[in-house]
Amino acid sequence: MSTPNNYFQPDFSGKFGKYGGKFVPETLITPLKELEETYFQLLKDDNFNKELDKLNKEFSGRPTPLTFAEGLTNYYKRAKIYLKREDLCHTGAHKINNALGQILLAKKLGKKRIIAETGAGQHGVATATVCAKFGMKCFVYMGEVDIERQSLNVFRMKLLGAEVIPVSSGSRTLKDATNEAIRDWVTNVNDTHYIIGSVVGPHPYPMMVRNFQSIIGFETKEQIQIAENRLPDYIVACVGGGSNAIGIFYPFLNSGVKLIGVEAGGYGINTNKHCATLTLGREGIFQGMKTYLLQDNDGQVSEVHSISAGLDYPGVGPEHSYLKDEIIADYFSVSDEEAIKATELLSQKEGIIPALESAHAIAYLEKLTPSTAKDEIIIVNVSGRGDKDLYTIKNFLGY
Ligand SMILES: *Cc1c(COP(=O)(O)O)cnc(C)c1O
């Protein structure tokens, strides 16, 4: 795994600057250490790297294409727009990149039982998929609100042989599902591996998940060199926990390419119904990490909202908090309504129906393109496809 210039890995305590770390109950300290050691062993293990490469190629269908978006480029009449097509991955989103890496890790650790949390259901489906392939028992924690709005993905998980455990605490969405999964892990850590779905949680997860997802960026770098013989000017990706964004950003850190993360603005960032963590949050400790967090004056985690279940999360990966403070990447937000408009636009100009999460990145083109020139290049990461969101989109548009 090559490392960008002038960019530091997390330190021995798992910190990116002051963010990250391991804020966990003592029972998890040893398992996290074991996980980290096994992960570093595997990185140097040719068989592991070969097996993961083969799975990425023959099971997920990688490399995913980099598509020139001619319709969108002609529509905005400014920079050339390219799309990185994670929507074409097996199971329909980038989540499988991480799930495959972690299932191999779980096998190496000798674990028999897999747990995961899920919001949109994409990570649950990816985890259920790799568990089916590797013959592991799979339990997926999911908030009741998400179970309702993502019922098709719930059925997919069940069909794949996983058990979906409904979570009825708190806002009954992703953060509550994550809390329950952590509780399960603390109790069953001897035989259980927890496949976290984004670059969040205690060290080594944010680093490990980022490395598994950085295949997106490494492919993109090669593909744009072939297509344009140079690097792009901008890379745009949506940010929930931040794994698809850091996955495509990572090989471009400190390369001069402008990196833009787009958060969910929900009903608007002047309301209290949004998930604009990096825009409006402040430092806090949450789910094992120190990071930007949406919280009230007493430090209680806020109830957040996004039309997109995968972005409906009050925290963000600690590396993004670091990249924001250091101004290595910039973060903005777009509203539910803007995301829906972008979904229609991409569908009608390109013939690609994006996931609502990815539509947030597309929506930012509306703000970005006017200040770009025709000889510039923008790459947008299309993190997933929209099949899972069709009911939500249909309801919003009143069909
Ligand atoms: C889960 C998901 C996201 C959000 O997660 P990140 O870790 O921020 O990438 C974005 N897009 C899709 C399609 C997802 O399924």
Residue with tokens 């480029």: 73
Q: Are 356 and 122 in contact (CB under 8 A)?
A: no
Q: Is the pLDDT reported for residue 196 higher than 60?
A: yes
Reported confidence tier of residue 255, pLDDT bands at 50, 70, 90: very high
Tell me whether strands 282-286 and 289-293 are parallel, antiparallel or unpaired.
Answer: antiparallel
Nearest CA among 132, 116, 179, 171 for reference residue 149: 171
Three-state DSSP class for residue 192:
strand
Give whole-number Cα distances, 80 to 64, 194, 216, in Å.
19, 41, 20
Ligand 1 atom showing the smallest separation from residue 198 Cα:
7
CA of 85 to the centre of ligand 1 (A): 13
Check if 244 has its Cβ closer than 6 Å to any atom of ligand 1: yes
**Rounded-to-integer distance, Cα 18 and Cα 14, Å:** 10
Q: What is the structure's pLDDT at 8?
A: 60
Three-state DSSP class for residue 75:
helix
Average pLDDT over residues 372-378: 98
Check if 89 has its Cβ closer than 6 Å to any atom of ligand 1: no
DSSP character for 59?
A: T
Q: What percent of the chain has pLDDT over 90?
A: 91
CA of 356 to the centre of ligand 1 (A): 9
CA of 383 to the centre of ligand 1 (A): 6
Calculate ∠ Cα 79-83-86, nearest 5°: 160
How many CA atoms lie less than 13 Å away from 353 in the CB half-sphere? 9
Three-state DSSP class for residue 356:
helix
Average pLDDT over residues 5-25: 84
Q: For 276-295, write each residue's pLDDT tens digit.
A: 999 999 999 999 999 999 99
Q: For 214-238, write each residue's pLDDT tens digit.
A: 999 999 999 999 999 999 999 999 9
Which position has the higher pLDDT, 173 or 333?
333
Cβ-Cβ contacts under 8 Å for 210 (sequence gap 6 or more): 199, 243, 246, 247, 250, 317, 319
Residue 174 belongs to what H/E stretch? helix 174-188
Q: What is the structure's pLDDT at 13?
A: 80
Q: Is the dihedral of CA 94, 95, 98, 103 positive or negative?
A: negative
Q: Point out the catalytic residue in the list 15, 80, 84, 117.
A: 117
CA of 353 to the centre of ligand 1 (A): 15
**Rounded-to-integer distance, Cα 200 and Cα 184, Å:** 17
Structure tokens at 64: 């995913």
**Rounded-to-integer distance, Cα 56 and Cα 96, Å:** 9
Check if 357 has its Cβ closer than 6 Å to any atom of ligand 1: yes
Check if 275 has its Cβ closer than 6 Å to any atom of ligand 1: no
Using most ligand atoms within 8 A of CB, pick from 383, 385, 387, 392 the residue to mutate for ligand 1. 383
Ligand 1 atom showing the smallest separation from residue 355 Cα:
13
pTM of the model: 0.96
Q: Is the pLDDT reported for residue 185 higher than 90?
A: yes
Cβ-Cβ contacts under 8 Å for 326 (sequence gap 6 or more): 17
Atom 7 in ligand 1: residue holding the nearest Cα:
243
Ligand 1 atom showing the smallest separation from residue 358 Cα:
11
Which position has the higher pLDDT, 237 or 8?
237
Three-state DSSP class for residue 110:
coil
Q: For 87-139, write each residue's pLDDT tens digit.
A: 999 999 999 999 999 999 999 999 999 999 998 899 999 999 999 999 999 99
Average pLDDT over residues 361-367: 98
- Decide if 383 is catalytic: yes
Ligand 1 atom showing the smallest separation from residue 239 Cα:
8
Reported confidence tier of residue 1, pLDDT bands at 50, 70, 90: very low
Atom 3 in ligand 1: residue holding the nearest Cα:
310
